[in-house]
Amino acid sequence: MPEFIPITAGGHFKCAFDVSAAKVPKIMTHMRQTFRAWSVNRIGENAPVLHRAWFYVGNNPKVEPAHYVINEYQLRTVSAPSADRDEPTCWAFEMIHPDADERARRWSAEIILRKNEDGSVRFTSVVKNWMVANYIGEYPSPPTASALSWFSLNWKTRPFELAGKEKDTRRTKVIVQVVNTESTGSSSPV
């Protein structure tokens, strides 16, 4: 039975920006290929199921399901068609897997690609984690903050660049203040 991301899952990483690539004619196809390669690398097995059409076109129950489990990794895809068969209007991918160190912790990586009118692609990613239902025991310490591993493996070696307003975005440190209103009403920086 498939596992779904619970409502109580904690947000770990979230980002959204527009991507363009002058040297790549079909950027969404190229990005989906890099995500498939990342999935093969992440799962640690070059499973034949990862090379079939479901990964690119998503849920089409008449052809095959868009949900697979390979070595405890659950993968789902879905897409919205466009006039171009190879470049959908929108494509989404979800991977759920156990934590390498804490077997009761689960992770999800959600990736959404949406084609913009100017030819760029809006890249959105959300990474979450949670403990399995009915977990008994001391909760492990929260995981160290990090971005989706796809970035470190692919961003610098691929022909992508930020598009539009995001070109001028610089890294800035953001301090988040969490307010605990249930007990004392005090707040503490994270």
pLDDT in tens, 65-101: 667 888 888 988 888 888 887 788 999 999 999 998 8
For 55: left if phi > 0, alpha if psi spans -120 to 50, otherwise beta; the answer is alpha
pLDDT of residue 44: 78
As a whole number of angstroms, the distance between CA 51 and CA 49 comes to 5
pLDDT of residue 143: 84
What tens-digit pLDDT sequence spans the chain (190 residues)?
567 888 888 888 888 888 887 778 888 888 888 888 888 888 877 777 777 778 887 766 666 666 788 888 898 888 888 888 778 899 999 999 999 889 899 999 999 999 988 888 898 989 999 999 888 888 888 888 776 666 655 555 555 555 655 444 444 444 444 444 444 443 333 3
Characterize 101-129 residue by residue with b for buried, 16 or more Cβ atoms within 10 angstroms of its Cβ, and e for exposed: ebebbbbbbbbbbbbeeeebbbbebbbbb
pTM of the model: 0.76
pLDDT of residue 114: 93
pLDDT of residue 69: 84
As a whole number of angstroms, the distance between CA 2 and CA 70 comes to 12
48: its two tokens = 């034949």
As a whole number of angstroms, the distance between CA 50 and CA 35 comes to 11
